[in-house]
Chain A
């Protein structure tokens, strides 16, 4: 473990030699070949946070929660096969999505879009540290809160160090190593989980434990968590379909590829990684459910600790790592922990670089006026540190109501709902205008109302019974309508001459 962590520092120092200009720092000079792009895409999107919330869903909703893996992998495969959005985006040679906003609409859209994107993104990754610390607490048995905070802070500082130094180059190289470690760790854990529960144990979920199978049924018979239902499935199709195209960290990989053709292939192959990043942790969660269900006393004790909220580090997220600590042999547990820490780091580095790049390129530079490449790299480095500090603060005090996935989907929807009509409309609809884009992006802020405390407040104020799913779907519809109406009512003056999609279709 120590060797692995030290190697990250060495890579940071070494990668700095390969950063010649801003493009190298933000998008690795757009030189990524397929395998490297695939490794960094998987390393980024298969984070410890993903493992934790998917295993939590597997524990609470068992097999039914696999619908998410199905939706996401299907969406990514479809994009890879058609090149929808990603091909044209890569062809446009932009470095960030807001840069596309300026090319297609105006600099005002770029700045406003970037601010909403950063707000959504930083809120989204605000709980990554907390989930990471819960994993370490449960798997290692470490109870001292101060030691835990120090470990998490140390890990974050390590990520900051190599990301600040080498930018996308060090992120790609560390992602490659992290992908190989966490990939191996995931395969080992999956085999151990199957081995320890056995076919009979998984079959017992069907025959004895009232397992949850049908995601279209809104009743969860296991009694472990909320049901899903049609509306939720529709919400996830919309959110995950948009995320597959436009989530900024994925888009950064698209924009770092050597060519648009490589970006298209990247998506086709990534459908496998995206399937595994959700399906395998869900499988561990299902194994956790089967394990606890076969030992009712242990399950009661765990549930009481979760319900009593006496220990903030023990929630339903902790079930999977507690289970792994019991079934994975001691020697392998070190490798699994290393794999999960690799997952933690590979996500943080990419997210930090992505948001700080947007802050520099799309907020600071357009407002401050022409800046040199050297100044932009410096501002990006400062932004990485500032976001790191915010993550520490936010991760310590915000309490999630509901499950972690709902929080992530909600914060993501703030950006997605505005970006979807703005990018798709911009690429494929000639009449899309600056006013429509601004209205759609700002309309996405309505998605903040779907956060737990806001939903409670709304229901209290209006004596209503709405939930996050309703509000997210309304936000998407609201932004799309605003985009269409805004574009039709206030067309751009230069509409006729404006290029759509900037390049020819696939």
Chain B
């Protein structure tokens, strides 16, 4: 029982602390990534608008 309790306690503490780190990692820095991603997507939209036929062309 002692072994199991040790394993589970370590697992719980690790998961709680590591999750906090991941939360912080995403929170600090995600804004820049989001802006870059949206800029890339905007470029896609502009490309599609420049040649609207692409969207209506049947694709296999």
| Chain A residues packing against B (C-beta within 8 Å) | 17-21, 23-24, 28-29, 31-36, 38-39, 42, 63-64, 66, 69-70, 73, 169, 172-173, 176, 179-180, 183-184, 186-187, 190, 206, 213-214, 269, 272-273, 275-276, 279-280, 283, 369-374
Residue interface bits B15-26, CB-to-A below 8 A is 1, else 0: 110111111011
What is the count of residue pairs linking A and B with beta-carbon distances less than 8 angstroms?
135
* Inter-subunit contact B15/A279 (CB<8 Å): yes
B interface vs A, CB < 8 Å? 1, 4-5, 8, 11-12, 14-16, 18-23, 25-27, 29-30, 33-34, 36-38, 40-42, 44-49, 54-60
- Check B59 against A17 for contact (C-beta < 8 Å): no
Q: Nearest CB to that of B1 among chain A residues?
A: A213
A52 to chain B, nearest CB (A): 18
Q: Judge whether A36 and B44 touch: CB under 8 Å.
A: no
Q: What residues of chain A lie closer than 8 Å to B21, measured between beta carbons?
A: 272
**Best-buried of B16, B19, B54 by chain A (most CB within 10 Å):** B19
Which among B26, B29, B30, B38 has the greatest number of chain A C-beta atoms within 10 A? B26
Please give, as numbers and ranges, the residues of chain B lying within 8 Å of A180 by CB-CB distance.
23, 26-27
Task: From A24, A186, A373, give the contact of B19 (CB < 8 A).
Answer: A186
Say yes or no: A66 contacts B26, CB within 8 Å: no
A272 touches B19 (CB 8 A): yes
Cross-chain contact of B5 among A42, A179, A213 (Cβ < 8 A): A213
CB-nearest residue of chain A to B58: A370
Contact of A269 among B20, B22, B34, B56 (CB under 8 A): B22
B52 CB to nearest chain A CB (Å): 9
User: Given A36-B33, A369-B58, A371-B59, 5 more contacts at CB 8 Å?
Assistant: A19-B45, A33-B37, A34-B33, A179-B26, A275-B15
A66 touches B8 (CB 8 A): yes
Do B8 and A33 touch across chains, with their CB atoms under 8 A apart? Answer: no
In whole angstroms, what is the CA distance A136 to B43 when docked?
A: 42
Within the complex, the shortest CB–CB distance from A170 to chain B, in Å, comes to 11
The answer to whether A31 and B58 have CB atoms under 8 Å apart is: no
A234 vs B33: C-alpha distance in the bound complex, in angstroms? Answer: 40
Q: Which one of A20, A214, A272, A373 lies within 8 Å of B41 (CB-CB)? A: A20
> What 6 A-B pairs have minimum CB-CB distances, sorted nearest first?
A20-B45, A370-B58, A276-B19, A20-B48, A279-B15, A20-B44
Check B20–A36 contact: CB distance below 8 A.
no
Query: Does the CB pair A187–B14 fall under 8 Å?
Result: no
Which residue on chain B has the smallest CB distance to residue A275? Answer: B15
CA distance in complex: A21, B11 (Å): 44
How far is it, in angstroms, between the C-alpha of A430 and the C-alpha of B8 when the chains are bound?
Answer: 42
* B45 A33 Cβ-Cβ under 8 A: no
Asked if B5 and A38 sit within 8 Å, CB to CB, the answer is: no
**Shortest Cβ distance from residue A430 to the other chain B in the assembled complex, whole angstroms:** 26
CB nearest neighbor in B for A372: B56
| Smallest Cβ-Cβ distance to A202: which chain B residue | B9
- Nearest CB of B to A257, in Å: 11
